Amino acid sequence: MSNNANASNNQETSKKEAVFPQPVYPGSMSNPFNGYYYYPTNMQPPKNNRDYVSKMRLQEADKIVPKQSGLPWSSIILKPNIVFETQDANEKVYVLVRAHWITNLGWFLRNLFMALLPFIVLSLLENFGIRIDISFISNKALTIVGLLYYSFIFTSIVSNFIDWYFDPFIVTDQRIMDYDYKPFGNYSVSEVSLQDIQDVKERSAGLLGDIFNYGNVYVYSASDASEMICKHVPSPTRVRDIITDLSNVAKTYKYDSV
């Protein structure tokens, strides 16, 4: 009788041990389906879902833009080493785009012509034997006029360069930002989340754009049905593809779903 009782107790104990197995390794995690099991170090579940989404975004984005390229003054820079004011802790910049350098040729030639204009006029007057008496103007007054004239030209050059250099189109792993900077004035920034992008298109910028490989990139947002235009972008097909791929990654790994 006692042997039967001991056998039944042993069976109950073995059943309990089978249902509630003890952890094999210290610090192992509970498996809700079958007691305990061990997570290898590199397989530990993320402590924070947002951190996990950010990590996956960056991994996929690094596949889309694997290498850094471009100089600080280039029209297009991949993975630039820049930081902006509203940048998030885990946000990474992948593309910085400015208007193609050839678009600066107009204001450069215009200011060059204005700088050479006094010498051109003096040369023409001398060739045609025309003399203008300016002896009534002192050398000091001529110097002041010359300095004012060339200061306006210099200001125009600086203004146009700043307008080009500080008017970029920035693409991160989270959003697209379009800076509209007014030299010696204010600036505005418009942005679109990559998750909200509905479509990205490119359009030709005319014959000159076809020759020098630049065009316009249009980003359409699904949130407010608006469009963001990046004009005179170098390699517009490449820029369009990068934005589209980064948008697909952002839609796959959404922050608002965690």
Q: For 73-122, write each residue's pLDDT tens digit.
A: 899 999 999 998 888 888 999 999 999 999 999 999 999 999 999 999 98
Residues 153 and 198 in one domain: no
Residues 159 and 221 in one domain: no
Return all residues near 167 (Cβ < 8 A) that are at least 6 apart.
Answer: 98, 99, 179, 180, 181
Residues 221 and 88: beta-carbon distance below 8 Å: no
Residues 71 and 146 in one domain: no
Residues 225 and 48: beta-carbon distance below 8 Å: no
Residues 192 and 219: beta-carbon distance below 8 Å: yes
What digits encode the pLDDT tens for the residues 34-48?
Answer: 444 444 445 454 545
Angle at 108 between CA 103 and CA 110, to 5 degrees: 110
Structure tokens at 51: 């951190």
Residues of the chain falling short of pLDDT 50? 2, 5, 15-41, 43, 45, 47
Q: What's the confidence (pLDDT) of residue 24?
A: 46
Q: What's the confidence (pLDDT) of residue 225?
A: 63
Amino acid at position 145, single letter: V
Say how many domains are in the chain.
3
Q: What's the confidence (pLDDT) of residue 174?
A: 92
Residues 173 and 191: beta-carbon distance below 8 Å: no
Q: What's the confidence (pLDDT) of residue 206?
A: 87
Residues 83 and 119 in one domain: no
Helix (H, G, I), strand (E, B) or coil at 213: coil
Residues 60 and 20 in one domain: no
Structure tokens at 67: 């290498």
Q: What's the confidence (pLDDT) of residue 223?
A: 67
Structure tokens at 12: 């109950």
**Domain span at residue 173?**
49-99+167-257
